[in-house]
Chains A and B, each alone.
Chain A
Amino acid sequence: MEFVYEVEGGNFTKAGNASSAVKKTMKQLNVDPKIVKRTVVALYEAEVNIVAHAYGGVITVNVNAEHIHIVLDDNGPGIPDIDLAMQEGFSTASSKVREMGFGAGMGLPNIKKNVDELKVSSEVDKGTRVEMKTYLKNQ
């Protein structure tokens, strides 16, 4: 089953809407609360990344009996050095964003910690694609 959410760049008021919707869905599907929590924490982080860095994006969520697969595509500046962005504490966020409590440089590392598989690809000046997968059965 597929769910699609649009994300508006720069609108922090709405950041989290997609995460909340996905959370509600997972609860209705009777997914283990611990997996729900991990997935939603990762998704929220990624959603805020789009809001903070990109002009906009689309989140596509696929759920089946085996796993939940989330793809976040954005139009934005892209990430020149993905390995660097994966390091804890690295951040390019503006001071305005930091003042709001975001941009501590924990984004991608925190996502990685909370999902089973993470794939990040990016093209500078075009956008970034973050793919994450979490298995729903306890392994």
Chain B
Amino acid sequence: MSKQQIYHALKIDKDICYGCTHCMNVCPTDAIRINDGIARILKKRCIDCGECLKVCPVDAIYVEQDDLDNIFDYEYRVALVPAVFTGQFPTSITEEEVFSMMKELGFTHVFQAEFMVDMLNELIDDQMEMNEDKPLISTFCPSVVRLIQVKFPSLIDNIASVKPPVDASAAFYRKLLQNQGVPDKQIGIFYVTPCAAKIAAVKGIDDEYAAINGVINMMYLYNKLYTKIKNNKDSERELPVLPHLSSKSIQWSITRGEADNMKGRCLAVDEIHNVIEFLERLENDEIPKVDYLELRACDQGCAGGVLLHGNRFLTVDRMKRRAKQLESETGDINWKEHKEIIEDKDLFISKVNPLPAMSLDQDFAEALKKMERIRNLMCYLPGIDCGACGSPSCQALAEDIVQRKANLSNCVFLQRMMEKSKKLSSEHAIRIIERTWGKDRLDKDCKKIGAKNEGM
């Protein structure tokens, strides 16, 4: 049996990270430890939500992305752009203008990631009527899907089987080009992503029908485009002809985008810690009957994505205004007539498998033994959750100890007790701290953040 490899987009730059514990403390799945003065991500637990990236004070956490030059591996270079991307530009700049400038960067085609929203909306409504596992949980946010796999495996059957709009729109556009006679090999579809989770989802996919070839960091692209806009304002461009999306489609990725448009009783929860709290309750059957759950890892939905420039509330406001403008516009090209090229495999995901990462051992008896040891260890640990041992909490340290990944002497308070009872020399204690926090960590250094020579 092959071991399932999980791809992650979040990486730590070992040269920049100085082990400050901010990321370790916010990680919703306890997936970060500090060792040798550097943060380390436990792959089995990471759900690519990006909380660590948001909180890092020195930008040591980055997302692994495709180089923009990769698009030139293909003759037909399609940028798949979500509405939050255009939502970052002032409303005076139209979607067509943004897209036309993207062509100057080398893309041959630009298409909207939310194109398929209306069709998917209908499919989800149908599924909601048929499905017995209530509530149905949206597949929209890849980080939430990963969260359920890792932490809430009993809710796997609640996940809807309708694809997220990005994937369905990519599949649609690929078919459209193929129908125009373009060989599949020459088509490169690149999604402009607002988050790390989508990168992980695209790269980690083993689906042979995966329609997306690569992922471009939205922040990188925004900076490139905005510089262009600032520098050649007046030049005349040929504007691309795009399908006019419904105002619903434009707002789909922001909070309540789905919930406000589904039939039945729908709830929207955003921000990863809120989502976890809600899923805990759902698992206990504490939630009264709900038909559909829109769950998003980021506050304000995709407008709060880690790779977005600017303030998420302003982005939401601009997207709403753009959507309003569209309501009065007509002249829709009938792209829907291509509906027949869509097949089921373009619209539905394959089964989602549980990837439980919270268990102490595969073997029940062994897990029971470990849990007994943890409970015993907790009698000695101080319960301060200071993180000075390199694990996020006393509980996490106890777990790491029984998994042979840490020692009781990693706890700075227990070190004191050991020194007092002469079980540990001060030199040894310092060596232990250096193992966790790096050598020379306790030496005077005035270039530290907040110190008098910071940044010099």
Chain A residues with a Cβ under 8 A of chain B: 1, 16, 19-20, 23-25, 27-31, 33-34, 36-37, 40-41, 44-45, 63-65, 101, 136
What is the minimal beta-carbon distance from B306 to any residue of chain A, in angstroms?
28
B281 (CB) vs chain A CBs: closest residue: A16
Partner of A29 from the list B151, B283, B367 (CB cut-off 8 Å) is B367
Contacts of A65 in B (CB 8 A): 364-365, 368
Q: Contacts A16-B286, A23-B283, A29-B371; is A34 near B154 (CB within 8 Å)? A: yes
Q: Are A40 and B284 in contact, CB atoms less than 8 angstroms apart? A: yes
What is the minimal beta-carbon distance from A61 to any residue of chain B, in angstroms?
12
Contacts of A34 in B (CB 8 A): 154
Stretch of B65-73, B331-339, B355-363, B446-454 contacting A (4+ beta carbons < 8 Å):
B355-363
Contacts of B360 in A (CB 8 A): 28-30
Q: Are A30 and B371 in contact, CB atoms less than 8 angstroms apart? A: no
Q: Are B368 and A64 in contact, CB atoms less than 8 angstroms apart? A: yes
Partner of B283 from the list A25, A37, A136 (CB cut-off 8 Å) is A37
Q: Answer yes or no: B285 CB below 8 A from chain A CBs.
A: yes
Contacts of A136 in B (CB 8 A): 364
Q: Answer yes or no: B354 CB below 8 A from chain A CBs.
A: yes
Contacts of B372 in A (CB 8 A): 1
Contacts of A29 in B (CB 8 A): 359-360, 364, 367-368, 371
Residue-wise, chain B 323-356 has the 8 Å CB interface mask toward A (1 for contact) of 0000000000000000000000000000000101
A-B contact count (CB 8 A): 64
State A45–B368 Cα separation when bound (angstroms).
26
Q: Contacts A23-B284, A30-B360; is A63 near B154 (CB within 8 Å)? A: no
Partner of B356 from the list A23, A25, A30, A37 (CB cut-off 8 Å) is A30
Q: Contacts A20-B280, A40-B284, A41-B284; is A33 near B359 (CB within 8 Å)? A: no
Some 28 contacts from A to B, beta carbons below 8 A apart, are A1-B368, A16-B284, A19-B284, A20-B284, A23-B283, A24-B358, A27-B151, A27-B356, A27-B358, A27-B359, A28-B358, A28-B359, A28-B360, A29-B360, A29-B367, A30-B356, A30-B359, A30-B361, A30-B362, A30-B367, A31-B364, A33-B154, A36-B154, A40-B284, A63-B368, A65-B364, A65-B365, A101-B288
What is the minimal beta-carbon distance from A35 to any residue of chain B, in angstroms?
9
Q: Answer yes or no: B257 CB below 8 A from chain A CBs.
A: no
What is the minimal beta-carbon distance from A4 to any residue of chain B, in angstroms?
12
Q: Answer yes or no: B438 CB below 8 A from chain A CBs.
A: no
Q: Which of B350-394 contact A (CB under 8 A)?
A: 354, 356, 358-365, 367-368, 371-372, 375
What's the tally of chain B residues with a CB closer than 8 Å to chain A?
A: 26
Contacts of B154 in A (CB 8 A): 33-34, 36-37
Residue-wise, chain B 52-94 has the 8 Å CB interface mask toward A (1 for contact) of 0000000000000000000000000000000000000000000
Contacts of B364 in A (CB 8 A): 29-31, 65, 136
What is the minimal beta-carbon distance from A23 to any residue of chain B, in angstroms?
7
State A34–B284 Cα separation when bound (angstroms).
12
Q: Answer yes or no: B153 CB below 8 A from chain A CBs.
A: yes
Contacts of A24 in B (CB 8 A): 358
Contacts of B356 in A (CB 8 A): 27, 30, 33
State A64–B369 Cα separation when bound (angstroms).
10
What is the minimal beta-carbon distance from A122 to any residue of chain B, in angstroms?
24
What is the minimal beta-carbon distance from A10 to any residue of chain B, in angstroms?
17
Q: Are B285 and A41 in contact, CB atoms less than 8 angstroms apart? A: yes
Q: Are B284 and A44 in contact, CB atoms less than 8 angstroms apart? A: yes
What is the minimal beta-carbon distance from B429 to any residue of chain A, in angstroms?
31
What is the minimal beta-carbon distance from A112 to any residue of chain B, in angstroms?
15
What is the minimal beta-carbon distance from A113 to any residue of chain B, in angstroms?
12
Contacts of A40 in B (CB 8 A): 283-285
Residue-wise, chain B 276-295 has the 8 Å CB interface mask toward A (1 for contact) of 00001101111010000000
What is the minimal beta-carbon distance from B379 to any residue of chain A, in angstroms?
14
Question: Given A1-B368, A16-B284, A23-B284, list of 19 further CB < 8 A pairs?
Answer: A1-B375, A16-B281, A19-B284, A20-B280, A20-B284, A23-B283, A27-B151, A28-B367, A29-B359, A29-B360, A30-B356, A30-B362, A33-B354, A33-B356, A36-B154, A37-B154, A45-B285, A65-B364, A65-B365
Partner of B371 from the list A16, A28, A45 (CB cut-off 8 Å) is A28
State A5–B363 Cα separation when bound (angstroms).
26
Residue-wise, chain B 194-231 has the 8 Å CB interface mask toward A (1 for contact) of 00000000000000000000000000000000000000
Chain B CB within 10 Å — which of A34, A40, A45, A101 has the most?
A: A40
